Chains A and B, each alone.
Chain A
Amino acid sequence: MGEPTILEQLEKIVGKENLSTEDADLLCYSRDASENVGKPDIIVWPSNPNQISEIMRLANRLKVPVTPRGAGTCLSGGSVPARGGILLVLTRMNSILKIEVADLQVLVECGVVWQDLNNALASHGLFLPPDPASGDVCTIGGCIAEGAGGIRAVKYGTFREWVLGLEVVLPTGETVWTGAETRKCASGYDLTRLLMGSEGTLGVITKAWLKVFPLPRYRLIMSAYFNTLEGAGKAVFQVISSGLSPSAAELMDRNTITAVSKYMNMGFPDCAAMLILEFDGSFLSEVKTRMRRAQKICKTEGATGVAVTDTRAESDRLWQARKSALPALATLKPTMKPSTMLEDVTVPISRVPEMLVQIERTAQRHGVLISTFGHAGDGNLHPVIIYDERSTEDVERAKRAAADIFNFGLQMGGTLSGEHGIGLSKAPYFAKEHGEAEIEVMRKIKGILDPKGILNPGKIWSESR
């Protein structure tokens, strides 16, 4: 009598109806929103931390890889099971456990969808500010694990600024709480921040205490159009450094404007770059004053036109347009089998104009189509290289262009990723940004928490060696 098979043991933990080895499922769960592929052997849908703990103990004993996954909207391959094994789909743990209105805090399970949480908060006049473009579907656990940001990060920061404490199942099966249920905490090592952005390699986040914020009474939006990308970049920098504190400062280049216009039927004017600036606050006159000053700055920096969005419906449409930028790019080259490399390079805000110029030159130098949009206000740009995945030559050109963009970003004191994570996509470049000694510290931390290296293996740095 041997040990029951891993499948039998998993069935005992989660029940037969909560796991799958069907071909159809394995194939569909082999992808996220990035270009990476990795097929799981078994998919499990746990419903509580105890089950996850048992799964981790089992996986540890049998040395089977485990990859956590939320909605699978990751843009760097974080939720792709690179080494196969067990895929832990956490979307069934989707309860909002507490909304502490007086304390401006919420306790949620990891699988809660961002939009569902914000809908629930809105009825109390509250919101969770970081707003990834995939907010309609992405999960809070995924946002925390990937250090997600979004349009409003320029004022409110990424998820890193909004998490107070986490319940985490460690790779060895123990469940721990990190942080505190208070808005400040200087008690011991900050394990919460260690786990944020750890891309599911240090533990499985199961619950989170989050800070939330009162919804601003007023949100005003303006757009400005420019003849050069650089001009738009300079205007953003001026707006930020003048202390006007926009709650969004988004940039779209000509290619993005074309694609988004087509998708949303927006009718933007013909221009090389467009800025969308949002200002929020409690007092209308104060918000208006800041916006007027921003309009003036844009004009001084050469804006060919400035438009103010008056109604809520118009504003919603504009944001919807911006958030659809990445997928809408697929309309740009309809004749080929398009693939994209989405970069997430982030530079100090004063270097944004220069970075934009370098991206434009890179596209010309390698003869590739690059479409740039992003959160110019916090230095986080999303140049998207669009290429035909059937053409080896095209793929090579795209790779060379990506490497150039990374190098320019790093030379300017930037980082490979502002909010999408390293995952599989940027792992080969990781050692360019971080020194050997720093990576060694990371490896040691990983080794302590995950001695057998079973949790989300292959991510962040493994491939770079």
Chain B
Amino acid sequence: MVGIQMTIRLPKELETEAYRCFRCGFCRSQCPVFRAKQNESWNTRGRMILVKALMEGNLTLSPQIVERLYGCSLCKACETTCPAVVQTYEIFKKTRNEIYRLGLWPIILTDISASIDNQKNIYAMPSDDRTIWAMGMEGNINLKVGKKAKVAYFVGCASSFMGRLEGIPQSMIRIMNHAGVDFTILGPEEWCCGEPLFLAGAPQLAEEIVRYNVKTFRELGIETLVASCAGCYRVWRQEYPAVIREDLGFEVLHSSELLAQLMDADKLKLNKRGKGVVTYHDPCEIGRHCGIYEAPRKVLENISGIRLVELHKTKGDGRCCGGGGLLKAINPSLALEIASQKLDEVTATGAKIAVSGCAACKLNLSDAIREREANKLNIFSVEMLDITEMVAKAL
């Protein structure tokens, strides 16, 4: 057996926490990975058994075990169903931290972290390409780059570099121009938010990034930072203040929250009517992790002509699309399978458009749609849109 017999050490309070898992197995109903794999070692209960065995030194940390412990989208669904309220998310994050410390994390994470270290983005792309999406925009646009402004828009790596996601930043710009928001982006000076490093179990590698990002935005004198990617939003809100051990000095909003505020202030004139049934997929990192459920729904309800139909499982019970927790990078086929199951839920609502508020969700779910189209399984064709795109279409 390849692998090293090593004991992992969790902080005392998390060790105790791990032993509170009774193995009742209720997590089977919620864990998106288990639903796809149908194998207990890919379920929260199984992962907890593995973590405990590793803590007790009774298990070899083989590549298979590492695969299981990184085979989790960190979506937190198990926590919502756990009757013992075990903090599985913290346990899994700390376990990944230990695996990283032992130098045994999945090899692709070495590539990603090197890319963030060298190029300050996850794709090893040149920083100058960070605004390439703006080139595709037609008409007069008002876009400040690295200037003082009230609001800063944090675009994020995926939306900056992935051509398929350019609709998200383009929509954000159109909306903020329409509403007359005084905003700036950082452009080539924007660095990755560091979220992949936090999820990978190497928060220590993210410190320089966090400090750079906070300092740079503080220097622009912003009052608000808005992120359209749920992952970027979460680390800005939850991880950054913990790293710098002080308040950021500006508020952090998710794009859906900004949209809702602009609508409340009557600054968005939605002249075009939408049509048909629309459903909303709660991204885990703004939903379960940060409790944002109402803002995106309020935004959608303000678009005339469409009918919002909720998914069978929604809000805190909403199912992860499989795109989170680095699963898409580490185990792309599994991420796709989970997204495909999510699509079944989407089609069950009769929706022609599925809306989300996260670049990773959009990417993974549209990959699943593509796969269905390639296999001619798209009996019900579904379009995947970000909430910003949905609103921009109605302007």
Give the interface centre of B23, B24, B65 by most chain A CB atoms within 10 Å: B24
Residue from B20, B59, B84, B85 in contact with A23 in the complex, judged by beta carbons closer than 8 Å: B59
With A and B bound together, what is the CA distance between A340 and B62 in angstroms?
31
Q: Taking CB as reference atom, which chain B residue is nearest A43?
A: B39
Complex alpha-carbon distance, A31 and B28, angstroms? 14
Q: How many residues of A contact B (CB 8 A)?
A: 39
Is A22's CB within 8 Å of the partner chain B?
yes
CB contacts (< 8 Å) of A137 on chain B: these are 25-26, 28-29
Contact B16 A33 (CB under 8 A): no
Judge whether B53 is part of the interface by a CB distance below 8 angstroms: yes
Q: Are A136 and B29 in contact (CB under 8 A)?
A: yes
Q: Which residues of B contact A336 (CB under 8 A)?
A: 16
Interface string of A319-344 (1 = CB under 8 A from B): 00001111111110011111010000
Given known pairs A134-B26, A137-B29, the reply for A27 and B85 (CB within 8 Å) is: no
Residue ID in chain B nearest A75 by CB atoms: B24
Residue of B nearest to A137 (CB): B28
Q: What CA separation (Å) do A330 and B20 show in the bound complex?
A: 5
Q: Of all chain B residues, which has the CB nearest A24?
A: B41
Task: Find A33's partner among B25, B50, B59 (CB 8 Å cutoff).
Answer: B25
A331 lies within 8 A of B85 (CB) = yes
Chain B's closest residue to A138 (CB) is B25
Cβ–Cβ contact B25 & A28, under 8 A? no
Q: Is the CB of B16 within 8 A of A334?
A: yes
Are the C-beta atoms of B41 and A263 separated by less than 8 Å?
no
On chain A, the residues within 8 Å of B23 by CB distance are 31-33
The answer to whether B64 touches A337, judged by C-beta atoms less than 8 angstroms apart, is: no
Residue A245, interface by CB 8 Å: no
**B40 interfacial contact with A, CB 8 Å:** yes
Q: How far is the CA of A336 from the CA of B20 in the complex (A)?
A: 9
Q: Tell me, yes or no, whether A71 is within 8 Å of chain B by CB.
A: yes
A136 touches which of B26, B38, B41, B49 (Cβ 8 Å): B26
B1-22 with Cβ < 8 A to chain A: 1, 16, 19-22
A73-B24, A338-B19 known; A27-B49 Cβ under 8 A? yes
- B41, A328: Cβ atoms closer than 8 Å: no
A29-B40 contact in complex given A327-B84, A328-B84, C-beta closer than 8 Å: yes
Whether a CB of chain B sits under 8 angstroms from the CB of A115 is yes
A326 pairs with B49, CB closer than 8 A: no
Task: State whether A263 touches B83 (Cβ < 8 A).
Answer: yes
State whether B19 touches A328 (Cβ < 8 A). no
- Tell me if B387 counts as interface (CB < 8 A to partner A): no
Q: Does A173 contact B (CB under 8 A)?
A: no
Residue contact A23 to B64, C-beta cutoff 8 Å: yes
**B41 A134 Cβ-Cβ under 8 A:** no
A81 to chain B, nearest CB (A): 13
Docked complex Cα distance between A81 and B21 (Å)? 21
Does B60 interact with chain A (Cβ within 8 Å)? yes
Nearest B residue to A92, CB-CB = B38
Query: CA of A367 to CA of B28 in the docked complex: distance in angstroms?
Result: 36
Closest to A389 in B: B19
Contact partners of B72 in chain A: CB under 8 A: none
Q: Please, what's the 1-or-0 string for A58-83, where 1 marks a CB less than 8 Å from any CB in chain B? A: 00000000000001110000000000
Docked Cα-Cα span, A437 to B100, in Å, equals: 60
CA distance A33 to B83 in the complex (A): 13
Give every chain B residue within 8 A of A331 (Cβ-Cβ): 20, 84-85
The residues of B that contact A73 with a CB separation of less than 8 Å are 24-25
Are A28 and B46 interface neighbours, CB within 8 A? yes
Min CB distance, B70 to chain A, in Å? 12
Give the complex CA separation of A197 and B51 in angstroms: 34
Contact A23 B60 (CB under 8 A): yes
Rounded to whole Å, the gap between the CB of A88 and the closest CB of chain B is: 14
Residue A25 at the B interface, CB < 8 A? yes
Cα separation A254 to B240 with both chains bound (whole Å): 42
Contacts of A136 in B (CB 8 A): 26, 28-29, 81
Closest to B21 in A: A330
Chain B residues with CB below 8 A from A326, complex form: 22, 24, 83
Known contacts A24-B41, A27-B50, A327 near B28 by CB under 8 Å: no
Cβ of B68 within 8 Å of any chain A Cβ, yes or no, is yes
CB-CB under 8 A from A113, the residues of chain B are 29
Q: Does A91 contact B (CB under 8 A)?
A: yes
Q: What 1/0 mask marks residues of chain B from 55 to 91 whose CB sits below 8 Å from any chain A CB?
A: 0000110101101100000000000011111100000
Closest to A25 in B: B41
Indicate which residue in A22, A32, A335 contacts B16 across the interface (CB closer than 8 Å).
A335
Given the complex of chains A and B, what is the CA–CA distance between A92 and B38 in angstroms? 8
> Residue-by-residue, is B29-45 near A (CB-CB < 8 Å gives 1, otherwise 0)?
10000000011110101
The reply to whether B24 and A23 form a contact with Cβ atoms under 8 Å apart is no
In angstroms, Cα B21 to Cα A32, docked, is: 12
CB–CB A28/B83 < 8 A? no
Task: Report Cα–Cα, A393/B81, bound state, in Å.
Answer: 33
* Binary contact track A104-134/B, C-beta < 8 Å → 1, others 0: 0000000001010000000000000000001
Interchain CB contact under 8 A, B25 and A134: yes
Residues of B within 8 A of A91 (CB): 38
* A24 pairs with B20, CB closer than 8 A: no
Of the candidates B40, B59, B60, B85, the one having the most CB atoms from chain A within 10 angstroms of its own CB is B40
The answer to whether A31 touches B24 (Cβ under 8 A) is no
Asked if A334 and B50 sit within 8 Å, CB to CB, the answer is no
Which residues of B are found within 8 Å of A340, using beta-carbon distances? 22
Closest chain-B Cβ to A283's Cβ sits at a distance in Å of 32
Q: Return A347 CB to nearest CB of chain B, in Å.
A: 26
- Whether A334 and B20, one on each chain, are in contact in the complex, defined by CB atoms closer than 8 angstroms, is yes
A338-B28 in contact given A23-B59, A23-B62, A326-B83 (Cβ < 8 Å): no
Please, which residues of chain B bring their CB within 8 A of the CB of A22? Answer: 41, 64
Contact partner of B68 among A24, A323, A328, A338, CB < 8 A?
A24
- Taking a contact as CB atoms under 8 Å apart, the answer to whether B50 and A328 are in contact is no
Give B1's nearest chain A residue, CB to CB. Answer: A23
- Write out the residue numbers on chain B whose beta carbons fall within 8 Å of the beta carbon of A28: 40-41, 43, 45-46, 49-50
Task: Find the A residue at minimum CB distance from B59.
Answer: A27
Within the complex, what minimum Cβ distance (angstroms) separates A261 from chain B? 12
B118 to chain A, nearest CB (A): 34
Inter-chain CA distance A73–B83, complex, in Å, is 14
A297-324 interface with B by 8 A CB criterion: 323-324
Which A residues touch B67, using CB under 8 A? 24
Closest to B38 in A: A91
Residue in contact with B20 in the complex, picked from A45, A115, A324, A338, CB distance below 8 Å: A338
Complex CA–CA separation, A31 to B23 (angstroms): 8
- Set of chain B residues within 8 Å of A330, measured between Cβ atoms: 20-22, 84, 86
CA distance A124 to B43 in the complex (A): 32
26 A-B contacts, Cβ less than 8 Å apart? A20-B39, A22-B41, A22-B64, A23-B1, A23-B62, A24-B68, A27-B49, A29-B41, A30-B49, A33-B22, A71-B25, A92-B38, A136-B29, A137-B26, A137-B28, A137-B29, A326-B22, A326-B83, A327-B24, A327-B82, A328-B84, A328-B85, A329-B84, A330-B21, A330-B22, A334-B20
8 closest A-B pairs by beta carbon, nearest first, are: A324-B83, A28-B46, A327-B83, A28-B41, A330-B84, A330-B20, A137-B28, A136-B29
Q: Known pairs A27-B49, A137-B28, A329-B84; list 7 more (Cβ under 8 Å).
A: A20-B39, A23-B64, A24-B65, A25-B40, A28-B41, A330-B22, A338-B19
